[in-house]
Amino acid sequence: MKRNMNREMTIFWSLYDFATTPVAFAINAMYLPLMIVEAGGSSSTVGILPLITGAIAGIWTPIVGTVIDRSRQKSLVRKIVVIVSVTLAGASIVALSMVQGLLQIIMLFIVMTLGIQTGWTAMNAYLAQEGYEERMGTTSGAGVTVGYLGGAIGAGGAVILERLLGRAAAMIFIGGMLMAFGMLSVSRLREQERLPSSSESLSESLRKGLNAVSNNTSVKAYLIGTILWGDAIATIVTFASLLSQQVLHIPEEHIIGLLAIAVPCALVGAIVHGRLGDRLGIVRLLGANLFIWMGGITTLIVFGSAIPPVLVGIVAGFALGGTMTLSRALYARIIPDGMEARLFGVAAIFTFFGGSIGPLLTGVMSDLPGMSLRTALIIPLIFLLLGLPTLHYIRINSGPFQEQN
């Protein structure tokens, strides 16, 4: 049985969500696609970025995770990793506010994304190591809830600053918030017991991690599912601002209003999915969540701008909060003890790979003659349909808390 994260540790761990969610909302989903198009890029350019970051993350994040797992004082290593990561990511956002060239925007986005993901390797491994299995959904939901509060504050503050001082000031605010709260998140985190340091080489530790994946059906099914359903959801997030313009026909200056609707709904979605996941089963609730996504995307394809934007914001926010909560809780429940960080690094490969194919195909399809972003939404819908069956092969083995699908 894993140890129980006390309230203080849960709060400080959640602050990383608080620091990074404004980046997802304000930079990834709103400013970045518009900046790329303004710099001469296209939907295909927006779609290919996750593929580039995924290729780099596939080499980098498992190494970071293995270094953390092999350390006797994981708290110290985790603090160093997170502090360096958020500093680089925050500085990249500040630099993004000052450049206009397409190549510069792409390079800074890559550094920003890898920095945030490196920090996530450390923080999600802490959840898997210290989280209390019986309430994993609720604990994961707490992080997502705090994260969306940060998203509301960060995105709201960015909007105010953009209208008063311009987009550059808004982006600098987001970068500063990431650095400040990202560093604060690890200031008090500690493991409740010190584990003996490993005498294995780095390559041997990595090999053991990969063997653990290959011999565990639940982990393999989860990783394959992450490619498929994660790809679909990443596609929607990647093209959020362009979908608002081209499918819902919302003027650029009003897109932030849709975000203002989605954020509190995501907060509610995180709480509801987390609590119900603990009661009814995380795998079962994740399946229901994916059906929400499929219904929402199908409705967008069929009805387009006839759908009230308020309804889109409510459903998308609620579903996104639930997906983040349940996916992270599920990872924490199936990873073997002692391999939390390195296997999250492996999982990050699949997460990035899963977040790259759909955006790329969707962007390319939408740029084809006679096609549009609305018709290209068939791509994430197909990935959701393919990903749903993987849930059947995931088992959570936790003694009396074993979950049956």
Q: Which pLDDT tens digit goes with each residue over 136-154?
A: 556 666 666 777 777 778 8
Please tell me which residue, 197 or 320, carries the higher pLDDT value.
320
The pLDDT assigned to 6 comes to 66
The pLDDT assigned to 282 comes to 86
- pLDDT at residue 353 above 70? no
**Most confident option among 74-78, 326-330, 384-388, 394-398:** 384-388
The pLDDT assigned to 172 comes to 92
Confidence of residue 264 (pLDDT cuts 50, 70, 90): confident
CATH, range 7-185+205-396: 1.20.1250.20
Pick from 144, 141, 128: nearest CA to 219: 128
The answer to whether 174 touches 151, Cβ cutoff 8 Å, is no
Please tell me which residue, 204 or 248, carries the higher pLDDT value.
248
Residue 314's identity, in one-letter code, is I
Q: Give the burial string for 122-154 (b: 16+ CB within 10 Å, else e).
A: bbbbbbbbbbebbbbbbbbbbbbbbbbbbbbbb
Cα–Cα distance for residue pair 245/253, rounded to 1 Å: 10
The pLDDT assigned to 405 comes to 46
Q: What percent of the chain has pLDDT over 70?
A: 76
Per-residue pLDDT averaged across 91-113, rounded?
89
Q: pLDDT tens across 45-79, in order?
A: 776 776 777 677 667 777 777 777 777 777 788 88
The pLDDT assigned to 93 comes to 92
The pLDDT assigned to 402 comes to 41
Pick from 47, 45, 43: nearest CA to 366: 43
Of 9-13, 232-236, 278-282, 351-355, give the lowest mean pLDDT range: 351-355
Pick from 174, 118, 37: nearest CA to 352: 118
Q: What is the mean pLDDT of the chain?
A: 77
**Most confident option among 23-27, 195-199, 201-205, 374-378:** 374-378
The answer to whether 358 touches 257, Cβ cutoff 8 Å, is no
How big, in percent rounded to 5, are the helix, strand and coil portions of the chain?
85, 0, 15
Confidence of residue 198 (pLDDT cuts 50, 70, 90): low
Cα–Cα distance for residue pair 70/72, rounded to 1 Å: 7
Phi first, then psi: give them for residue 387, nearest 5 degrees: -80, -25
The pLDDT assigned to 359 comes to 76
- Domain map of the chain by residue range? 7-185+205-396
The pLDDT assigned to 155 comes to 74
**Most confident option among 120-134, 203-217, 386-400:** 386-400
Confidence of residue 214 (pLDDT cuts 50, 70, 90): low
The pLDDT assigned to 64 comes to 76
